[in-house]
Amino acid sequence: MAPDVRRPIDRALLFFALMLLAVGLVWVYSASGVRSPTSTSFLLRQMVGGGIGLALMLALSQTELGFLRDNPRPLQALYIVSVLLLFAVFFFPKVNNAHRWIRIMGQQFQPSEVFKPVMVLVVAWWMVRHQEAWTQRQDAIPKLLTLVGILVVPAALILREPDFGTTFLLLFVALLLVFMGGAPKWIFVIAVPVLCAVGAAFILTSPYRLARVTSFLNPEQDPLGKGHQALQSLVAVGNGGLMGVGLGGGHQKLFFLPEAHTDFIYAVIAEEAGLVGTVAILLLYLGILWRGYRIARGVRDGFLKLSALGLTLLLVVQALMNISVVLSLAPNKGIPLPFISYGGTSLIVSLAVLGLLLSISKETG
Amino acid sequence: MEPRQRRILQERVGTLQTFAWGFFLFLAAVYGWLQLVRRNELQRLALQQSVKVRTSPAQRGIIFDRNGYRLVDNKRALHLVIQREDLPLRPEPVEALARGLNTDPEALKRRVQAIRNSGGNRALLLADNLDEAGLAMAERLRARFPFLSIVVAPSRVYLGDELAGHVLGYVGEVTTDAMLKEPGRYQFGEIVGRTGFEAARNEHLKGNDGQRRILVDHLGREVRLYDGKEPNPGRSLFLTLDAGLQKTLADAFAGEQGAAVVLDLRDGGILALHSSPSFDPNIFLGHMDRQQADALFRNPSKPLLNRAIRGRYPPGSTFKLLVALCALEKGIITPESTFTCRGRKTYYDREFRCDGVHGTVDLVQAIAHSCDIYFYELGMRLDVDDIHATAVRYGVTELTGVDLPHEIPSRVPSRDWKARTAKRAIDRKWYAGETISVAIGQGQNGLTPISLARFYAAIATGGKLLTPHLLYAFRNDRTRLPDLVPPPAPRDLGMDPRIWTALDEGLAGVLRYGTARKAALPGIEICGKTGTAQVAEFKDKAHYAKQAKHLKDHSLFAGYAPRENPQIAFAVVAENAGFGADTAAPLARRICQYWFLERPRKPLPPPGGRIPDAFETGPRQAGLRPGEGP
């Protein structure tokens, strides 16, 4: 056995993530207290999720992801399992009008969350494995079409749940990975307009999705109807001012914000901790982005490099999407804020992603 | 990874990084804009929807009589209401609720709309002063209609029931008229004194309502207190009224209609003021049923009319004192001047009669026997404007200034008055014959009992014009003792003592040997004058006896007691009760009997001592405060 020449994990990244986790626990308690019968039931469940997630993170940070580069079998197995799980959600009853959860023995989890890191690894692996192909147009097209084929099934399943937000997140991160993985530029000249057109058509054909988009464009127009969440979230943010109204003192979480402890937790933080809080959390995510890039730059191996970028983007893009929704800069798609929003699967997966990033960080140097 | 790929990757990551940094900066800028620039606007929206204002009504001041007996108190009442933000938006629940309450759905819908349009935070009152059964009903309704609330609010309770209804008045929601008259003074739905002392001293009694701002959730349910201002209770106060005397007076009226006022000659404080029939102010606090409403509003006896300050009665012979004053002060007669009464005499071609044949009478005898001929002779020699001028000088024509709302002035006719008020041109001229009637208190004379009492108080005090008043003291909220309010200063009328002596002598004669000798009270010498005011004219006594009650003469008596060192003055009017000596004089005697002989004089705590609670809430009793004894 070769001597272990790996470096210690990236402590700064771990610090930023744990800070976010701590902030998350505080505000899950603050935002959910009023809707919880014992005031702490949401907090306790989030803590259980955090515990599992931290254990998983520690375990994953000890793995050597580079191993997958030459032995893609486990990756393939993971892909197949997660696609099967994505199928399985349709056999479980709808919750909130969507097939997003699998419920076993009273515990429920979201397969689409599990699929996120799997997808990043699969795309990174594929881009590096076929890197020679990207220089030749005749090679690039079939390889890319195959990749599209690999992604289209799970993406379609997630879209079918329906979970437009996660689908968008996955495809967006995948597109960025393809872009960074060296795919020829002309592909994007074609792919980006095509994807936009498909997306537009998708939105325009459904009144429900159209309503969400229009409400995001003009929340004040119909404050009691579809624009309600958007306006309430702005009110929460604005009410916070520079220093916030104080921890636990927010008004908007009193059911004026419909999903105060999940999708709109950032609005609660904005109200209670003010601009100081919102900027601090933005800086923590910026810190994750910064450390993620450093890891990607420092690691030699292409697969690990691309995986590190993809995993980082998974966290940061999702955070930015959530924060944009709170500002009603984007339609509400039900995207949780990584490490902070209430939700077991999301928290565990975010910590797992962190674990993978930490394990890659040992390969730098 | 191949170097070329690595280069492409570095290059593209760089691009992405620029975008990412840009986006972070953009987000921070947007948050900065929202949280710094648009903060006030959004904060207002946040408070508007999540903070609701609830008024905490101030406790109204308690009203005591002069001895600390509680006349008006507060209680906590339960009301069934819909808070403004709970008002149903759709008509169906309102209709269902109207069926549940057995009321007209359209009327309820209109009220809901009125509250919604009114602004402020007033609740819609559905049922007030819930009793046990009402509370059970309200709870049942609340189970069906969750938008209902049961609120606790202070309410009034008038402990004496009918005892001093006209003095105390009652409270109620401020009327639209009052709000329009003084914009900005009242809040919509504010509880104010509507009549009586409650209205006259509303500013003192009402206190300042507090405000509770509560944090509510999206359904308007209270989460916790946001902030608040405690209500400031109103000032409790003491009336000059003596509950015992008031009770005695009310009992003595025993079904007669009329009014009586008893004044304290030291300061003009009203010791008793009764208007009969009285009413129970408690009826106005809750829901009034049809029968109660009819008994108040459609009753021909007009129980709501405060006859003591709003009833103008022809003063009859009680007015002779003023005519005598006028004649004496003008020097037309001296106390020793005499006229001869033969029972009848013709003036201006019309025969005037006297009640008896008094022979040669001087002023004292004329007063004591109420000789009309004597005063007809004065009427012949006086001009009506002279009499009016004396009335003005003695304050009879002005408002007495009593601290009760809606007092009307007494009326003593004059040429000018007739010219101003007569409808037909022919009636505008004053005829000398009319002065004859005025001289014996008939004609267009109309005096309120309170101004009559004040006039007799002026005689009793030898020419001090007092201001009748009810406010005796404020209760010091710390020591719970009365802080006496200085009484209004009396006006000195500069009455000639010799004139006073003659009038006093005459008034004493009334009870010694004159018209009211049967009303004399052994031990206490009362001075007073009977009055019998004609309501309609009759041919003779037989004719009169056959008339319906409401056409019979008013019975009046006004005076003071005791003759040596007078302490109280009074005026009593009993409507359609015949001769002054028959009804009103015995009533006056009853007043004096209670005040001077029966009134309990228990020892009271020394000055500065606390009024014991037991005394405040105990059985009705009366007494004197320290230093007040006769």
Instruction: Identify the CA nearest to B79 among candidates B134, B34, B27, B39.
Output: B134
Determine, for residues A235 and B51 on separate chains, whether the beta-carbon distance falls below 8 Å.
no
- The CA distances from residue B111 to A37, A122, B94, B103, in Å, are 38, 68, 10, 12
pLDDT (mean) for B167-185: 85
Please tell me the distance from the alpha carbon of residue B314 to that of residue B555, in angstroms, as a whole number: 10
* pLDDT band, residue B511 (cuts 50/70/90): very high
Best residue in B5, B10, B44, B217 for a mutation probing chain A (most A CBs within 10 Å): B5
Q: Which runs of E-coded beta strand occur in B520-603?
A: 527-533, 554-561, 568-574
Distance of CA B150 to the CA centre of its chain: 32
User: What is the ipTM for the molecules in this complex?
Assistant: 0.89
Note the pLDDT of residue B608. 36
Return the DSSP state at A33.
Answer: G
Give B 36-55 residues with CB within 8 A of chain A.
Answer: 36, 38-39, 41-43, 45-47, 49-51
- Per-residue pLDDT reduced to its tens digit, B19-38: 999 999 999 999 999 899 88
Does A279 lie at the interface with B, CB-CB under 8 angstroms? yes
State pTM to two decimals. 0.69
Does B20 lie at the interface with A, CB-CB under 8 angstroms? yes
Through-space distance between the first and last CA atoms of chain B, rounded to whole angstroms: 120
Task: Assess contact for A75 and A122: CB atoms under 8 A.
Answer: yes
- Measured at the CA of B533, the angle between CA B527 and CA B539, to 5 degrees, comes to 130
Q: Where are the domains of chain A?
A: 11-361
Phi, psi of B45 (to 5 degrees): -60, -40
Determine, for residues B5 and A255 on separate chains, whether the beta-carbon distance falls below 8 Å.
no
Note the pLDDT of residue A219. 56
* pLDDT band, residue B219 (cuts 50/70/90): low
Instruction: Identify the CA nearest to A117 among candidates A161, A63, A162, A160.
Output: A63
Please tell me the distance from the alpha carbon of residue B337 to that of residue B349, in angstroms, as a whole number: 25
Cβ-based neighbours of B616, under 8 Å, separated by 6 or more: B64, B68, B69, B70
Answer with the residue of higher pLDDT: A225 or A329. Answer: A329
Best residue in A32, A36, A243, A275 for a mutation probing chain B (most B CBs within 10 Å): A275
Please tell me the distance from the alpha carbon of residue A79 to that of residue A115, in angstroms, as a whole number: 8
Query: How many inter-chain contacts (A to B, CB under 8 Å) are there?
Result: 125
CA-based R_g, chain B, Å:
34
In chain B, which residue's Cα lies nearest the Cα of A308?
A: B13
Give buried/exposed letters for B544-560 (b at 16+ CB in 10 A, else e).
beeeeeeebbbbbbbbb
Task: Assess contact for B461 and B429: CB atoms under 8 A.
Answer: no
Determine, for residues B46 and A134 on separate chains, whether the beta-carbon distance falls below 8 Å.
no
As a whole-number percent, the residues of chain B with pLDDT over 90 amount to: 45
Instruction: Identify the CA nearest to B170 among candidates B71, B318, B65, B265.
Output: B71
Return the DSSP state at B488.
Answer: P
- Per-residue pLDDT reduced to its tens digit, A256-287: 787 888 889 999 999 999 999 999 999 999 99
- Per-residue pLDDT reduced to its tens digit, B79-131: 888 887 778 888 888 888 888 888 888 888 888 888 877 766 677 888 888 88
Q: Count of residues for chain B? A: 630
Please tell me the distance from the alpha carbon of residue A138 to that of residue B598, in angstroms, as a whole number: 126
**Three-class DSSP category at B528:** strand
Which stretch of A177-191, A224-238, B484-498 has the lowest confidence by average pLDDT?
A224-238
In chain B, which residue's Cα lies nearest the Cα of A274?
A: B35
Note the pLDDT of residue A189. 86
**pLDDT over threshold 70, residue A243:** yes
Chain B nearest-CA distance from A296, in A, is 10
Query: Which single residue is written with the structure tokens 């505000």?
Result: A27
* pLDDT band, residue A216 (cuts 50/70/90): low
Q: What is the mean pLDDT of chain A?
A: 87
CB-nearest partner of B35 from A180, A241, A323: A241
pLDDT (mean) for A235-255: 85
User: Can you read off the two tokens belonging to residue A117?
Assistant: 């890191």
Please tell me the distance from the alpha carbon of residue A344 to that of residue A24, in angstroms, as a whole number: 12
* pLDDT band, residue B584 (cuts 50/70/90): very high
Q: What is the mean pLDDT of chain B?
A: 86
CB-nearest partner of A255 from B23, B47, B218: B218
CB-nearest partner of A180 from B12, B20, B32: B12
Instruction: Identify the CA nearest to A273 among candidates A245, A252, A232.
Output: A245
Please tell me the distance from the alpha carbon of residue B445 to that of residue B534, in angstroms, as a whole number: 11
